[in-house]
Amino acid sequence: MGARSGFWLVLMDEFREVLRNPAAIMIFVAGLLIYSLVYPVPYLREVLREVPVTPVDEDNSALSRKLLRWIDATEEIRLMQPVQSRKEAMDRVVRRETEEVVVIPKDFERTVLRGEQAWIGVYGDACYFLIYRQISTGAFKAAATLSAGIEIRRLSAAGYTESQARKRREPVPVMTRPLFNPVGGYASYVVPGVLLVVIQQTLLVGIGVVGGSRFEQSRFPVLAGRSVLGITLGRALAYVLIYACYPLFYLAVVYRVYSLPAQGNPVTVMVFVIPFLFAVAFLGLTLSMFFRTSETATPMLIYTSMPTIFLIGFAWPVETLPDPLRWLGSFIPATHGVMGFIRINQMGASLYEVRWEWGMLWGVCLLYFCTALWTTARFFRKPPPPPPIV
């Protein structure tokens, strides 16, 4: 009975520590809510459209002008005022007045009419890969449509009907339909994963701030004399209960506000995130024992956000990471949490179908539970002196 009452005393004491700490409240409530609602705003357009491109028509023929009109008609490209030379067009790119350049070479129409292979040039800064991809896609679509029309007219002139000419030109038509991301947008791809990373990072920072405040003010009266197991479980459960509502908030509010695809069962999602929340809470308790002031937790943990995003393998393909980094990423709760969360919520997977990710989360949870027990036992065996008063 005493052990059980001690566990609940630790749980309630941790809630009080959070409520009396304005910085922790800002991180747990205001910061998380604001970040989850504001972060998707830059991606509202989902797909880049009407990217400004400068045309250079060196052929100046009817066919080249037709191709440019078709390029301008695509949703990806908006043609700007044409220029006479490639140098002038490249100067526009350098001055950031245009993103890329489309060049139709001299004798383009003559080459096509002679039945030879013609080409057009697309030049630009490939460092901006989304912009480069959209422009290349728009130019390819227009050129492919023009090529198809020319080929069909040639086959029709050879005696084929229009239907036969279409089938002969494309005997195996390809139809593409994007699954789980209907608009093919960047927001639908990246935002769901980042939202789970936000939960991990804010929870780690918040626990570090609360732990640092305890050291600063030497507030351990309730924890002193309790069992290490009760302290660890009680403190972790307090943070899990605080954060348990956020996955539901994501599904009920954020996903609907930004029209993100969601096909998962909310009950399955909540069951899946339980070990994720406990793993992050135990990791936060482990790290919090190394912070002697509340101010040190935020700068030390906030800068781990970007490496975490790359290591978990959705912003950058995990297959391209070196083996040591992939091994390191497997110890991050969000690595398994993000992949399982996306598969459940975006792809409609069942808990059985994400059993590998769920099992790995329980394994990581057990690992950080042991480290939290060790650091807690070590602290209460020989607590460090409080920081000096300046």
- Residue whose tokens read 């909540």: 270
The pLDDT of 91-108, averaged and rounded, is 87
- Domain coordinates in residue numbering, the chain: 2-43+185-381, 51-169
What pLDDT digit, counting tens, does each position of 40-89 carry? Answer: 887 777 677 888 999 999 888 998 899 899 999 888 889 998 888 888 88
Rounded-to-integer distance, Cα 95 and Cα 88, Å: 11
- Report whether 169 contacts 155 (CB < 8 A): yes
Question: Residue 29 pLDDT > 90, yes or no?
Answer: no
Dmax (CA) of the chain:
96
Assign 2 a pLDDT band (cuts: 50, 70, 90).
very low
Task: Provide, for the chain, the percentages of residues in helix, strand and coil under a 3-state DSSP scheme, each rounded to the nearest 5.
Answer: 65, 5, 30
Burial (0-12, 13-18, 19+ Cβ within 10 Å), 18: buried
Q: How far is CA 256 from the centre of its chain?
A: 18
The pLDDT of 166-178, averaged and rounded, is 70
Residue type, 53: V
Homologous superfamily (CATH) for 51-169: abc type-2 transporter like domain (3.40.1710.10)
The pLDDT of 234-263, averaged and rounded, is 88
Structure tokens at 277: 């929340």
According to DSSP, residue 311 is labeled H
Question: Residue 188 pLDDT > 50, yes or no?
Answer: yes
pLDDT of residue 381: 62
- Report whether 187 contacts 44 (CB < 8 A): yes
What pLDDT digit, counting tens, does each position of 210-227 carry? Answer: 888 777 776 665 566 678
pLDDT of residue 269: 92
Highest mean pLDDT among 136-140, 289-293, 301-305, 333-337: 333-337
pLDDT of residue 223: 61
Claim: this prediction has a pTM higher than 0.85: no
pLDDT of residue 1: 44
Question: Residue 110 pLDDT > 70, yes or no?
Answer: yes
Average pLDDT score over the chain: 83
Question: Residue 280 pLDDT > 70, yes or no?
Answer: yes
Structure tokens at 279: 């793993």
